[in-house]
Amino acid sequence: MIFYFSRISILLLFFSTIIHAQTREFSGIIKADGNVEGVHVINKTAYRYATTNQKGEFTIKGKLSDSLYFSSIQYMPKFVVITAKMIENNFIEVNLEDSVTELDEVTIGKILTGDLNSDITNSDAERPLDFYDVGIPGYTGVRKTQAESRVYEADYGKMVYLGFPYAMINFNKFLNKITGRTKKLKRVVKFEKDKNILTHIKEVVGPELFKQEDLVEELHAEFYFFCSDDDNFQMRCTNRSDVEILQYLQEKLIEFKANNLADN
């Protein structure tokens, strides 16, 4: 009895394979946003060809695993392989996407490259007069902050000859130094630089750090103060890339956690 049913199963499988391998005529329909008439349907495996009607309907001959190619000017081309389910339903539904035609780039006016010097040269704008045009001296370096200017003024002054060899003194600089004014002004400059660096760290680098490292939010402000109190803070963070600053913060965070652990 078991042998009998096995033979029947084999025969059914054999006939099923033959049926699926047979070429048959399929009905189908194209779904798209626009006009669906005149879409080319090509069976590239069996070299059959059809065209859709006004409703997007078509009929074409094919068999299991045949490749159908759908082509139209207004839609993106598409390949569909005939599956067993399509054979079972004797129906094929295909969705096509609009074909977006890119226009050639058109440049209106001057081309901007992102290079300031190049863009200024290509621009029709006229350069304003500067001190070079009128022949007077001018300063082209980085402008000092008010605090930096005061430090410079505190150190500025002529050297005065005291009447014997190599004895010269800058009284302005000397007085500011012994009164502590220069030291105080330098502290102000350092405070301003630290404040600017800390602002950047809190807004940009710090959030990235705490995405990678674990530290309760209540300790963030204390950690920033711990970093700024380091003697190497400005050297490690001034005119440095965010990657370099992040590396510095990671080093300081290890120290900070170790100190907190020791205190507790």
- State the amino acid at position 171 in one-letter form: F
Question: What local confidence, expressed as pLDDT, does residue 27 receive?
Answer: 92
Asked whether residue 58 carries a pLDDT value surpassing 50, the answer given is yes
What residues does CATH 2.60.40.4130 cover in the chain? 2-95
CB-CB contact of 20 with 5 (8 Å)? no
Token pair in block for residue 25: 């005529």
d(CA 111, CA 125): 14
DSSP secondary-structure letter at 232?
T
Nearest one of 164, 232, 234, 159 to 193, comparing CA atoms: 234
pLDDT band at 199 (very low <50, low <70, confident <90, very high): confident
- The average confidence (pLDDT) of the chain is 76
pTM of this structure: 0.38
Q: Pick the more confident residue, 19 or 247.
A: 247
Q: Which of 25-34, 165-174, 188-197, 239-248 has the lowest mean pLDDT?
A: 165-174
For the record, the structure tokens of 255 come out as 């120290």
CA distance 199 to 195: 6
How many C-beta atoms surround the C-beta of residue 94 within 10 A?
Answer: 19
Checking if the pLDDT of 102 tops 60, the result is no
pLDDT reported for residue 2:
47
Residue found under tokens 């226009």: 103
Strands (DSSP E) contained in the chain are: 24-31, 40-43, 48-51, 57-62, 67-72, 75-81, 91-95, 160-161, 168-169
The alpha carbon of residue 53 and the mean position of all alpha carbons in its chain are separated, in whole angstroms, by 47
CA distance 25 to 144: 85
Which pairing describes strands 40-43 and 67-72: parallel, antiparallel, or unpaired?
A: antiparallel
Domain 2-95 = CATH 3.40.50.620 = no
Q: What is the pLDDT of residues 219-236, one digit of tens each?
A: 888 898 888 888 888 888
What is the identity of the amino acid at 212?
Answer: Q
Residue 262, pLDDT above cutoff 80 = no
Nearest-angstrom CA–CA distance, 222 and 224: 6
- Kindly state the greatest CA–CA separation across the chain: 133
pLDDT above 50 for 31: yes
Kindly give, in sequence order, each residue whose CB lies less than 8 Å from that of residue 230, ignoring residues fewer than 6 positions away. Answer: 236, 252
Helix (H) or strand (E) holding 33, with range, is none
